[in-house]
Amino acid sequence: MSKQVKWWIGFVGLGLILRFFSLFISVIDHDDSTYLVIAQALTAGQLYWVDIFDTKPIGIFLIYGFFMKAFGLTGIVSFRILATLFIASTSFFIFRIILSKTHHTKAAFLGGLSFLLMNSTFTFYGISPNTETYFTFFSALAALIVLSGQWRGRYFIGGLMLGIGFVIKYVVLFDMVGLGLIVLFTVDTHLSQRIGKVIWMALGSILPFFGVAFWYWSLGHWDTFYFHSFEVSGRYPSSAPIWEYPLHLVDFLGRFFIISFLAGIFLYRRVYNSLGWNIHFWLFLTWLSALIPGKFFGHYFIQSMVPMSLMFGLALANEGTFLRSKFKGLYQRKAGIIIFALWALTAIIFQKIDYWDRPDSNKEVAVYLGEKMEEGDQIYTGNSSQIVYYLIDKKSPIPYIHPSLFWQSQHIEAMEIPVDQIIADLKELEPEYIMMKPFSKKETVSHLSMIKWIDQSYIKDTIIGGKDPIQIHQLKRVAY
């Protein structure tokens, strides 16, 4: 077994230890549930953006569906382990890049470990699997191929990896530009040759998207592909106050102060080669990617963690003399071990409290309904947890899986969701069970006819869950 394989296994082992208590709960964040439900539908023959809908590009669902089909993954735990494998592999790629540039094994390891730790500390900054979990894998792999490879064709293949990331989430465009700038201003060749390498990267990066577009066109669904790929995203205006943008960035940097501080030292000192400087451009671009939408979701910043971890590792490798002179007490092996060990232990303890000790109401609902439902019974999960479809192996009666799409006005307007038709279809279908939870501030209660229909046609069967209760309604039976 080679040293590199051993390092990869080491990162995977650390990832499984750090994330162990989050592997078992059915829902950490509802996006992950949506990916599972839609991927399962795709493996059953449904077509995304035609039979079943979400706001994301198709890539994330193809990844989940691929592992369902090719490896038979079905359980929640298996997909949480899969997410851990992707995160740990991304950490390994970061380790490889730093090692190739500095030949400093400890700094490279800590750079890779920093990415793993950042993704295993906060719920919405990496613990919950999301699109960033997967596309950062391809962005980091592209960086490894382009910056550390020595073989012909690496720029095209690196671009191809970025292109795969792009069809998972279009914000990978910022990674494309960032890595393109690194190649354009760092690679030690004539300018015309560097431009040629960037062109090869661009050619590789457009292939996956063109392939998906051609597939929809060949099936006669170009219009729906164009609508969801280009028009819908422009219908979500950013209305956040201007002062919230820097606050959100400061919040992110403060959460991971140790990493951001050393990355800042790397920027301040300017004792680095041009590769380091261009990594900062890449980092700034990812900040723009996270802030431009104006939604301020924490997981948007996971994209920034790749260049931040690279800068952190490079700072440790190149700034040892400076750090020892200014931070004698902290820049020591024992101090570093203690800091990272305390960080890891704290993350593990909070994961146990948040995910292991907490009752899993969605599994309770699945067990309850599994005992009551007959083979032909239908269920609609309403504004509640769509993961129940997956847990009890039932098809959603409406094509919009994430509850926010049908219950929040911004999505209804942006995606032109035919609410009245869907309500009419539900009334005609008469699902045996409907799940509802208390409405949030963002959810619209304008579906008055549907709410009235539920009150008239269903009885309140039971309530499961304490903090976020799920009300299960059962269809009334007419006695003859």
How confident is the model at residue 387, as a pLDDT?
A: 97
Its pTM surpasses 0.85: yes
How confident is the model at residue 280, as a pLDDT?
A: 86
Do the beta carbons of residue 365 and residue 464 sit within 8 Å? yes
Per-residue model confidence as pLDDT tens digits over 292-303: 988 889 999 999
Residue 3, pLDDT above cutoff 80: yes
Q: What is the CA radius of gyration of the chain?
A: 24
- The larger pLDDT score, comparing residue 420 to residue 58, is at 58
Distance (Å, rounded) from C-alpha 244 to C-alpha 239?
10
Q: Which two tokens stand for residue 461?
A: 């069967």
Residue 69, pLDDT above cutoff 90: yes
Distance (Å, rounded) from C-alpha 433 to C-alpha 456?
14
Tell me the backbone φ, ψ of residue 472, rounded to 5 degrees: -100, 125
Per-residue model confidence as pLDDT tens digits over 177-197: 999 999 988 766 788 888 999
Domains of the chain by residue range: 3-355, 361-475
Residues 6+ apart with CB under 8 A from 396: 37, 41, 52, 380, 381, 386, 389
Per-residue model confidence as pLDDT tens digits over 384-400: 999 999 999 999 999 99
